[in-house]
Chains A and B, each alone.
Chain A
């Protein structure tokens, strides 16, 4: 009794008022849902932008709705910039890590909350502020920036003189990213400290679910990478607003004006940006890998194949990810010797990636597979990861990249691996954990229809882009009408646009499923999927402090499925020997 009282004193009590409970909440579960909703808003905005871009590519002279009219090339570039930025930062970085990581990491390691609950709340609200600042760029004079999500200077640094959106819009863009870095750093710190110091008794590192491993390594990448982006962002802000010349070279004449800047290096930005940018790819995809491992094992009713190898592969991918940024810059005039070094290291990432893929297939092999919706999405993730990964090997060769660079091949590649694969990870996680988060099952039929449309749809959209790229189609062109050799490719653009319209429409099915299931879904019991990890030992949704003030004790690893002598075919992590 005394013990219980003492431990209660350390805790934060469940808050009562609406604002403390749901708005400025310290509870990692509420914060996780907040991150998820933020990403949901951002993903639908980002998707809407891509729809307008596709319409413009298929019908360059069409009058578009919502006051867009006949879209100017500048508007196309602005939509493209905002699409990329919203998706990379506010969807792929927030939902898998801030959303599901926040919700499930503490529960899966047996903790009552994150290590620093206040900091956790601050991270979310800082990220929210960053989103508002980013969206504000649409509504200022000149509109959103047109320099792409990578914001290469001098275009992004010289200001309004170079084009619409490069004035206030670009300043808001870079300020938003600097704010975002702040939120991401706080969040990363919290995740690492939580994983290191808050594990329950018996939860050794090698007993952690692979989801926890991926969130942990993702946080390490975030802590190291976002600090560097912040540094680059500060320099860019100074170049834009204070008149320094970190990135702006001398002798620039833009719109018949001579700029006073001199001596800066645009390549310096590229180095700083991609030193962040490549790990960012893994920040987006690693949590999806963890979720896929968790789900494949659960629904194949088999232990994950090669758990230790999986852990080392995650660490290997995270480590190598910091030494390959140069492969984004092969055509920047880099020394061929550096290019070869970057290329070899890039190829080296293929090894841990192949280990992971092999182990996923090994997990499926001979399993008694249950084709639930989350399982379908996890298998889809493996498919997309392989497709997107293989094209990465092409782009990692300097000789091939000279040709492929800045073509649709690159667009197809990174949408497959970073975009859609990570999104499939989010979908898989949503269908898998929704019952735990909201106490109701999601509709399985609707989920499967959604999966079919999405899976076939994304291949129909992004596969043809590889062929466009091989045909030499540059990316970022708003239309093909003024370029003769591209005119023959117009039918492909039309096909992609139609596929995109169908796929985007299917996403509303997901939204409807979320809402319908939240209110009308069948009640979920504690462990509907017969999973083994700690979140399935507590009620759905879990109580305020996750385990009702009692510390769970962990006796075994996370994936004990298909036990021949067990009463059921799985053993919970908390089951004593």
Chain B
């Protein structure tokens, strides 16, 4: 096990933060505060707040889904494309590998970090590709966005989730590149922490959407 210690940048610029903004987001500045180092937690706060907003977005979509399915006489539930199960497995695995990444980072096992984070990023990309395949499957059956309210919501929910996940994938790719360059200083560790929160949340959100599509037909 090569326990390579990465050269740490002395005053690493902080990056990362809220929403699905690419990880180098909040570039030049520290978190405006006076005492150095005290500002790390603000990025975690920011991420949780962003997730509150994401939650509200999907709460609104959910209530629209329930109302629209309840009032209409034209709702025909669509069959869930089978590939979604494989995608779900990929996404759950990616959460596990991301945890392995964090644990390795904490122990300073840099080689392991590089591999685990790469695997996580690949799984994330694979999930997105799988979602596109699911769309492909549906459209080849003649089920499009406007075919039925149920299919409208299927495309809407998977699309909105996919866009959010894309933000997470971009952050993972950034971390992967930085990891292989051995540049995971304190600033980038914050990026890892914050991205992990986001990624797990997106994982949970996907499970929730899947349950909604399965059980509220």
Contacts and interface: CB of A to CB of B under 8 A. Distances in A.
Contacts of A11: 29-30, 32
Contact of A224 (B27, B46, B52): B52
Interface of A: 6-7, 9-12, 26, 106, 111-119, 122, 185-186, 188-190, 192-194, 196-198, 200, 223-228, 230-232, 234-235, 238, 242-246, 250, 262-265, 268, 271-272, 275, 547, 549-551
A272 B63 CA distance: 9
B71 interface: yes
Chain A interface SS verdict (over half)? helix
B49 A116 contact: no
B38 to A, nearest CB: 8
A367 B39 CA distance: 42
B46 to A, nearest CB: 5
Given A223-B56, A547-B34, 11 more contacts: A9-B11, A9-B36, A10-B30, A26-B29, A117-B28, A117-B32, A119-B26, A189-B46, A226-B53, A228-B56, A242-B145
A190 B64 CA distance: 28
B185 interface: no
B45 A197 contact: yes
CB-based closest 5 A-B pairs: A10-B30, A231-B60, A113-B32, A227-B56, A12-B29
A190 B63 CA distance: 27
A268 B46 contact: no
12 contacts: A10-B29, A106-B32, A115-B46, A116-B26, A117-B26, A192-B49, A197-B42, A198-B32, A246-B152, A262-B74, A265-B68, A268-B68
Given A223-B49, A231-B60, A244-B152, A238 B29 contact: no
Contact of A228 (B25, B46, B60, B152): B60
Nearest to B160: A234
B35 A243 contact: no
B68 A246 contact: yes
B31 A268 contact: no
Given A197-B42, A232-B60, A116 B28 contact: no
B167 interface: no
Contacts of A272: 60, 63-64
Contacts of B39: 10, 115, 197
B168 interface: no
A230 B60 CA distance: 9
A405 to B, nearest CB: 22
A298 to B, nearest CB: 27
Contacts of B11: 9-10
Contact of B46 (A111, A116, A263, A550): A116
